[in-house]
Structure 1
Amino acid sequence: MHWIYLGIAVLFEIAVAISAGKADGFRNWLWTAATLISGICATLALSFALLTFDVGVGYAMWTSIAGVGIVAFGAAFGERLNWKKVGGIAMVILGVIGLRLSGAA
């Protein structure tokens, strides 16, 4: 179940990034509300995941997986993706795998 909570937290964290990007410096109240609500939901889901995961490992996996998702989402909608970004994503994925293999959950 902790993996489901982590996945939900990742999805809401991706929503935070997308919403914050559209909030226009928090001048657009609808996107601002979406940012804040998504942030609350992400943090709540993460807190449930951290009941099983070590805090450092769970938080690192959450931010890393969400970061990869945000870059992938951006690339799907026209942001440039070059070999440096792909290499960085590969290192992040390897790091998450290494954390998982550490036996943290």
Structure 2
Amino acid sequence: MSWLYLGAAVVFEVVVAISAGNAKGFARPGWTIATLVSGAIATYFLSLALLTFDVGVGYAIWTSAAGVGIVVLGALFFGQKLTLNKVLGILLVIGGVVGLQLSGAA
């Protein structure tokens, strides 16, 4: 169940990033509310996941997976370039997350 909680936390963290980008420095109230609410939900699910995961490992997986998701969605839907360096970075992040999981921490 902790993986489901962590997955939900990642999804809502991606929503935080997209909403914050559209909030334009919190000048747009709807996007600002979406940022704050999704941030609270992401933190709630992360806290549930951390009942099982080591804090450092769970947090690292959460931020890494969300970061990769944001880069990929940016390339797919927001016209951001997916360069070779970004792809290599994503592969390094995935390798690090796999390494953390193989450490037996969760």
What TM-score range do you get, normalising by the shorter chain?
over 0.9
Shift of residue 85 of structure 1? 0.3
Shift of residue 32 of structure 1? 0.1
Q: Distance in 2 between matches of 1:44 and 1:15?
A: 14
Shift of residue 33 of structure 1? 0.1
Q: How big is the alpha-carbon RMSD for the aligned residues of Structure 1 and Structure 2?
A: 0.3
Unmatched segments (≥5 aa) in structure 2: none
Instruction: Give the TM-score, by structure 2 length.
Output: 0.98
Q: Residue by residue, what CA displacement relative to the aligned partner does 1:58-96 show, whole Å, maximum 9, x if unpaired?
A: 000000000000000001021101100000000000000
Aligned residue pairs total 105
- Percent identical across equivalent pairs? 67
1:56 partner letter:
G
For residue 65 of structure 2, what is the aligned residue in structure 1?
65
1:101 partner letter:
L
For residue 41 of structure 1, what is the aligned residue in structure 2?
41
Q: Distance in 2 between matches of 1:17 and 1:101?
A: 28
For residue 102 of structure 2, what is the aligned residue in structure 1?
101
For residue 76 of structure 2, what is the aligned residue in structure 1?
76
2:13 partner letter:
E
For residue 20 of structure 1, what is the aligned residue in structure 2?
20
What is the 5 A alignment of 1:2-13? 2-13=2-13
